[in-house]
Structure 1
Amino acid sequence: MEKGVQRWIVDISNWNPSSNDFSFALSLLPQTHHSSITRFVKMEDRKRAMVSLLLQYALVHEVLGIPYSDTVINRTLEGKPFLECGRFCFDIPNFNFNVSHHGDYVAIASEPLCLVGLDIVNFTIPEKEIVREYIQNFSSCFSSLEWDRIITAGSNEEVLTEFYRYWCLKEAYVKAIGSGLGYGLHKVEFHHINWRNISVKVDGVINPRWRFWLFDLGKGHWVSIARGHPRSAVESYKRSLKRTEFNEEEYNVGLHLPNPRFVFKTVEELISVLHKALCSC
């Protein structure tokens, strides 16, 4: 089952495709996804959208071995991507994945049994904004305990770092359950010991069926991963899962699987995987 636990990441700052290279990469993806890439005006945004889809299709093909021509990836009403398994059977009870991109990085994480949520943040604020004034706009998204820890963190840089760490974890949880933008982030409160042994309270109740990790990617970027129980998923996302109920022993196996380091991939590697997969169809 550990094969279903994957962590891939791409640094897109190293990818500067020509118009022809970009068109070739686009041609490898199903036509149904093209508009979700070309709708962006800025090339940086197009690159992020492109690499996000390349990661999804390459990971599904490599991990599950599903023929590329039979791979169908859709989104729920709330926007979470999922694999339509259809007639294919594999020995992974609840394969699901999540993607995130911000700044220089695009990443994907998958799990074989638990829900998975992934979020990347780049520690920036809009130009001419003052740190404490900027974060004040988001104070309603945090519990009083979290907010106190943020504003008393120290220097402006330390305050901003604390703010984004909490934000990153909240987003990973919300994305894991498949909820949309309307989810009340203040309802999710995180506790930690020096940002390790991270636990969560939802609506004031500790939830031991979740685990979280937070990593410094460098260049002002952090990434968080949430792993939790499928029964926590919103209804639209539950319908995409094979199973939402497990006995305690089964679930604990999934919850305590190793959390591997991210494997760095290049866009060229992803393109090669999909090109070979497409040619073999």
Structure 2
Amino acid sequence: MSPLARGGGHRFRWVLDVDEEMALGFQRHLALLPEPEQRHVLSFVQPADQHRALASRLMQRACVCLALAVEWPAVTLALTKGRKPFTTCAKPSSAPNFNYNVSHEGLAHDEAACEAAFQRLWSLKEAYIKARGDGLGFAPLSRAAFHCAAAGRGAAVSAELMLDGAPQPNWRFLCEPLPYGHCVSVALGPPSGVVDQLGAFKATLHGAPDPGAAAAGPSFTAVTLEQLLAAAGVV
């Protein structure tokens, strides 16, 4: 399956070099967003934060366009109280629980074993609290512990969650290494595990997830904004 295939509830896992992309035209890309989203991006003081916010919005919109076959102007984005992004667009029966997340920045460290272990653990915890929907409202982070399966150097690693000391077999995790010492994790859990005080996000979820979906999805693929926007029919 192409990492930019359109329609059918496909799974996408993308990596984007924000610094490189924003150097090619911040204002041009900003103009592709609705005015409220433009104001959100510009509400950040630091240019680096504006760049990450803009790239995030563009990737979210492209993801919804491609996965749900929605035209760019019709994409609707929202946030839980814990700042998890989601879409209120209608979902096909083939993807009743479609949702997504964005990690705005990675952690680059030396390749020492202890640094790699810390980075992997942080990535898994970030994936978990974002998938739940409460984000940093989940506290303390030490409540969530992970046991990672053995894997070869540079290989994706599956992980099991222990929450408050109890195994959580309904959650699945996969941590994948990326270039330049980064890593990224995917979390998949049941709708019953969502924490959504406002209720709008949880209302978009239906049924139980495929327990193998986290591991069965594609590897992360490096893309450019031009590729995403072209695939979404914007440019």
Q: Which TM class, normalised by the smaller chain length?
A: 0.7 to 0.9
Aligned partners of 1:169 and 1:225 also within 8 Å: yes
1:185-210 deviations in Å (ceiling 9; x for gaps) = 11111112326341011111101111
Equivalent residue number for residue 122 of structure 2: 167
Aligned residue runs from structure 1 range 1-281, under 5 A = 3-17=9-23, 21-85=25-89, 88=90, 90-91=92-93, 92-102=95-105, 121-124=106-109, 157-183=112-138, 184-194=140-150, 196-236=157-197, 239-240=200-201, 241-246=203-208, 251=209, 254-257=210-213, 258-273=216-231, 276-277=233-234
Q: Check whether the contact 1:10–1:265 (CA below 8 A) recurs between aligned residues.
A: yes
Consecutive unaligned residues in structure 1, runs of 5 or more? 103-120, 125-154
Runs of 4+ in 1 over 6 A off after TM superposition: none
Measured in 1, the distance between the counterparts of 2:76 and 2:19 equals 28
CA 209–44 in structure 1, closer or farther in 2 if over 3 Å, else same: same
* Alignment check: 8 A CA contact 1:6 1:260 kept: yes
Mark the CA change 1:205 to 1:244 in structure 2 (over 3 Å): closer, same or farther. Answer: farther
Do the aligned residues in 2 keep the contact of 1:238 with 1:244 (CA within 8 Å)?
no
1:147 match: none
Query: Quick one: distance in 1 between partners of 2:40 and 2:145?
Result: 33
User: Kindly tell me: are residues 208 and 69 of structure 1, through their superposed partners in 2, closer, same or farther at Cα, counting changes over 3 Å?
Assistant: same
Structure 2 gap ranges (5+): 1-6, 152-156
Instruction: Identify, as 1 or 2, the structure richer in helix.
Output: 1
Give, in whole Å, the separation in 2 of the partners of 1:167 and 1:16.
26
In the alignment, the residues of structure 2 paired with residue 180 and residue 243 of structure 1 have an alpha-carbon distance, to the nearest angstrom, of 18
In 1, Cα distance between the equivalents of 2:190 and 2:56?
Answer: 25
Query: Offset of 1:36 from its aligned partner?
Result: 2.3
Return the offset for 1:2. 7.7
CA distance in 2, matches of 1:164, 1:98: 18
Identity %: 32
Letter in 1 for 2:143: K
Partners of 1:31 and 1:269 in 2: how far apart?
23
> Aligned with 1:122: secondary structure?
coil
* Structure having the larger proportion of residues in strand: 1
> Take 1:83 and 1:230, find their aligned partners in 2: how far apart are those partners?
15
* 1: CA distance, partners of 2:91 / 2:130: 26
- TM-score by length of structure 2 reads 0.83
Q: Any idea what the Cα deviations from partners look like across 1:31-56, whole Å, max 9, x if unmatched?
A: 11112221233333222111111101
What are the Cα deviations for residues 207-228 of structure 1, in whole angstroms up to 9, with x where unaligned? 1111111111121211111111
2:81–2:134 contact (8 Å) kept in structure 1: no
